[in-house]
Chains A and B, each alone.
Chain A
Amino acid sequence: MHFSPAPLHIPDGFLTLVISLVFWALTALAVGTAISKTNQSLGEKQIPLMGVMAAFVFAAQMLNFPVVGGTSGHFLGGALAAIVLGPWAGILVMTAVISIQALLFQDGGLLVMGANIFNMGILTALIGFGLYRLSSRVGKPVRLGVAGFAAWLSTVASALLTALQLWLSGTSRLEIVVPAMLGVHLLIGLGEAIITVAALGFIEQARPDLLSAEKTASQGGQGWVLGGVFVSLGAVLLSPLASADPDGLEKVAEDLGFLGAGQSAPYNILPDYTIPLLGETALSTIAAGAVGALLALGLVILIGRSLRRAQG
């Protein structure tokens, strides 16, 4: 049985170790910050709230509606969660949802979970909350319109980033994966937008206190607006470029050294791929591999430590 709303939950094996670790690091940074922010600014009441809200997002992802010919539109929820709960709490809620989908239902891998959380939880919070906050003081129709657009764009941007990660990992060809992912999600995003707007409209009627402009402003600063607009522009500009001129993008990535780094194993980044003293032997490669693995382990432990400290 599949619970994932859209083909965005990448399984293990589809991303190279380097890409997986890079996105784990980014995600750990964002989640660590989210933890210390929620600890600072929000009362202890926030803990059961975030837990139940995570269950809400999980359950709401089951609300599907028939689109055409057997396919159905689904709901991701990242933008809605960030708009109503604030971006930091939204990130934690989506992190919990994606973790449980990977851990309990094998919907998305463990090693690639960092990338999945980044795509579906952090990027969506940035776009969803950033754009919504920009319009939090204008009239209701415009605000809901912006929320809808943000929800749509957050889905599209998630899909785009997923496609790029697959390409950088050497798993998919750029000229195939980008149009395919974007094509599907331009449509799925519409469902996301309608559901998000309808849900916000409903909430605003029943509990206007949850969506007041003051509350929105207190949940995240102007930085979110800046980041949201920046990332949105990036997604809007990059999407047509990547689908229309994949060769161009490929060339740029190659020139910047992204392609090679993404597709090689992490120890290949070590100087000369071998340990100098041991020479070009199998032993040297193994030793390099061991060093690489130790480095990765050290990185993970360090992140764990700093998270622990941020929390305590």
Chain B
Amino acid sequence: MHSDAFDRYHFAESRLHRLDPRVKVSLTVAFILGNALLPDASWLALGLAWFLLLVANDQSRLGLWFTFRRSFLALPFALAALSAIFSPLGDPVFSFSVANITLTVTDFGLVRFAGILIRAWLSVQAAILLVAVTPFPDILHALEHLRMPRLLITIISFLYRYLFVLTDEVLRLLRARAARSAGMTGQKSGGGLFWRAQVAGNMAGQLFIRSYERSDRIYNAMLSRGYTGNLRTLHPHTMKPSDWRFLGLALFALLLTQLTGWIR
């Protein structure tokens, strides 16, 4: 695996790709916030939200099912919500017993469980679409415009830049470890658990020192180019009328979704 596997941006000529990153970030957050605001069992509204998501997928020209196919990330976490079906609130649907304990599934519990899963699944798709149609540096610019603290943005952009350098370094270390323990097949990479963890710890220590010293050299490179402690940035993004129009339209659609969820 090369760390290029970390890339999430998918280029295409589309309206969504051209949209100002601030609009995209705000709408993603608004969409996720909207999902959280909807009351349980507002199936129509959740369906409408999914429809909006499909429209967005289509607009991105990445394919109608682009985010759907990548959306099962949160699935392992669904286990945590499974116990919600036994909620004591609501009427029992059926019960069964496991080793002397009687578990009762309730209608409220089932609705709650479904609600959690659907919200999680819709939200993660919105986030997937955002990074697929926006280069990550543009997302950072957008966050800066949206008043995220500058220091944090700067740290994240350094993190983003050196993610690739350092994960490559880790992969090299791991390969070296694998090569050295290859002789001991059948003995599962040799040594006891404690020893294995300690090897990982030494790697972490080594990686730490190298990273620390690298940050010194980066600092020197920054000084050489006039850095005196105040970071400046350019502001290349300006909202076009079409960006405002899109924002208004999308917000209106989200508001409609909320109304659908609340009026019954």
Q: Is chain B in direct contact with chain A in the complex (CB below 8 A)?
A: yes
* Partner-B contacts on A (CB < 8 A): 1-2, 7, 9-14, 16-17, 20, 31-32, 35, 38-39, 43-45, 47-56, 58-60, 62-68, 73, 75, 80, 84, 92-93, 95-97, 99-100, 102-107, 109-111, 166, 170-173, 176-177, 190-191, 194-203, 206-207, 210, 265, 282, 285-286, 289, 293, 296, 304-305, 307-308, 310-311
A-contacting 9-mer, from B55-63, B153-161, B237-245: B153-161
Interface flags for B194-228 (1: CB within 8 Å of A; 0: not) read 10111111111111110110111011001000011
Q: Which of A12, A49, A93 has the most CB of B within 10 A?
A: A12
Partner of B170 from the list A60, A191, A206 (CB cut-off 8 Å) is A60
Contact residues, B50-93 vs A (CB, 8 A): 73-74, 76-77, 80-81, 83-84, 86-87
- The answer to whether B120 and A11 have CB atoms under 8 Å apart is yes
Tell whether B27 is near chain A: CB-to-CB under 8 Å.
no
- The answer to whether A62 and B170 have CB atoms under 8 Å apart is yes
Cα A117 to Cα B123 with chains together (Å):
19
Partner of A12 from the list B83, B120, B154 (CB cut-off 8 Å) is B120
- The answer to whether A59 and B151 have CB atoms under 8 Å apart is no
- The answer to whether B116 and A47 have CB atoms under 8 Å apart is no
- The answer to whether B200 and A63 have CB atoms under 8 Å apart is yes
Residues of B within 8 A of A56 (CB): 166, 207-208, 211
Tell whether B251 is near chain A: CB-to-CB under 8 Å.
no
- The answer to whether B209 and A10 have CB atoms under 8 Å apart is no
Cα A84 to Cα B76 with chains together (Å):
33
- The answer to whether B73 and A52 have CB atoms under 8 Å apart is no
- The answer to whether B147 and A170 have CB atoms under 8 Å apart is no
Q: Which residue of B lies closest to A47 (CB)?
A: B154
Q: A51-B158, A203-B205 are in contact. Are A171 and B116 (CB under 8 A)?
A: yes
Further 20 A-B residue pairs, CB within 8 A, beyond A191-B200, A206-B209: A12-B32, A13-B120, A13-B122, A44-B228, A45-B216, A48-B158, A49-B219, A53-B215, A56-B211, A60-B170, A62-B167, A62-B174, A65-B197, A93-B155, A106-B73, A106-B127, A111-B29, A195-B204, A198-B198, A203-B208
- The answer to whether B205 and A55 have CB atoms under 8 Å apart is no
Distance in angstroms from B259 CB to nearest chain A CB is 7
Residues of A within 8 A of B194 (CB): 194
Residues of B within 8 A of A293 (CB): 37
Residues of A within 8 A of B234 (CB): none
Q: A11-B123, A199-B201, A201-B205 are in contact. Are A99 and B211 (CB under 8 A)?
A: no
- The answer to whether B152 and A12 have CB atoms under 8 Å apart is no
* Number of chain B residues close to chain A: CB under 8 A: 96
Cα A183 to Cα B208 with chains together (Å):
30
- The answer to whether A173 and B205 have CB atoms under 8 Å apart is no
Partner of B29 from the list A14, A96, A110, A196 (CB cut-off 8 Å) is A110
- The answer to whether A196 and B201 have CB atoms under 8 Å apart is yes
Residues of B within 8 A of A53 (CB): 211-212, 215
Partner of A265 from the list B28, B35, B37 (CB cut-off 8 Å) is B37
Cα A80 to Cα B212 with chains together (Å):
14
- The answer to whether B149 and A307 have CB atoms under 8 Å apart is yes
Interface flags for B174-207 (1: CB within 8 Å of A; 0: not) read 1000000000000011000110111111111111
Q: List 5 A-B contacts (CB under 8 A).
A: A51-B154, A55-B163, A109-B124, A171-B81, A194-B200
Q: A103-B131, A109-B123, A206-B209 are in contact. Are A63 and B204 (CB under 8 A)?
A: yes
Interchain residue pairs A-B with the least CB separation, the first 10? A51-B158, A198-B201, A202-B205, A13-B120, A13-B119, A44-B229, A12-B123, A55-B162, A194-B197, A59-B166
Cα A105 to Cα B119 with chains together (Å):
18
- The answer to whether A106 and B124 have CB atoms under 8 Å apart is yes
Cα A200 to Cα B206 with chains together (Å):
10
Tell whether B112 is near chain A: CB-to-CB under 8 Å.
yes
- The answer to whether A96 and B39 have CB atoms under 8 Å apart is no
- The answer to whether A51 and B155 have CB atoms under 8 Å apart is yes
Q: Which residue of A lies closest to B154 (CB)?
A: A47
- The answer to whether B219 and A48 have CB atoms under 8 Å apart is yes
